[in-house]
Amino acid sequence: MRFATSVKLTVQMDPDQEESIRRPLLTIEYTEYDNALIDETSEVPASFFFEYYEDGASFEKSAEVIVYVMNGIILLAVALRMYFWVKMNPPRFRARKFGMAFAGRLLFVLCDVWSNVMFMIYFILTGYWFIMYKMQSNAYILMPQRNIEDSTYEIFYIFLIIITVTKGIAILLNIFNQTSADVFIMDWERYEQMKMVEVVDNREDTASNAADPNANANDN
């Protein structure tokens, strides 16, 4: 005699048709028991559960395209910022230290821009997935599976760690640059404004008063 010990029903979303599922897969596993061991009071363990699954390959491909495009934009933004930095800090002013200063600035700009943009992109993608999952009235999108090989969660965690590390490097480099900078306070007046200032020379009147101290008394 056979008794069912495990019943599994797998339901997969159809990526080609919205709010539709593919034909469910029903899996039943049996275990044999000796008839002599079975009576009216015997109990046989059994389990029955559902597994809802959605292939996230299409979403991952879309996210991959977005990440590649944004990385291209990041490289353009970094190149533009480094161009203006070189304009404001010509090599002739730094001599031998220009290479180290350029490498440090490039690392800071690259880490800072990449971490900011990637965090924004990942926040938007995860926010879209969360909102679409929570606000759907019919089954349209499911959350990714966790305990499987090459899960979407693993990719997300890896990129999240990279974003955190690059942002931490950018913060440390920024603190180092600010704490090692010299600040000069200068009272600078524009030449055009100085020409409008009227300067009165009272040295002759002062000298005459010192030579004849009784002049003012006689006038009175």
Domain ranges for the chain, please list them. Answer: 2-53, 57-179
Q: Longest C-alpha distance within the chain, in Å?
A: 147
Q: What is the mean pLDDT of each run of 10 residues along the chain (220 residues)?
A: 68 76 78 66 73 73 88 94 88 78 91 94 86 76 72 83 94 88 70 59 61 53
pLDDT for 15 equals: 73
Contact 113, 174 (CB under 8 A): no
d(Cα 63, Cα 69) in Å, to the nearest integer? 10
Residue 97, both tokens: 């230290």
The burial class, CB within 10 Å (0-12 / 13-18 / 19+), for 99 is exposed
Residue in this structure with the two tokens 């299409």, named with its chain if needed: 58
pLDDT of residue 212: 59
- Give the predicted TM-score (pTM) of the model: 0.62
- CA–CA distance, 61 with 155 (Å, rounded to integer): 13
Confidence at residue 107, expressed as pLDDT on a 0 to 100 scale: 93
Q: How much is the pLDDT for 178? A: 83
DSSP conformational letter for 4: E
* pLDDT value, residue 4: 55
**In Å, what is the CA distance from 26 to each residue of 23, 66, 120, 129?**
10, 37, 41, 28
In one-letter notation, the amino acid at residue 90 is P
Tokens 């603190």, located at residue: 175
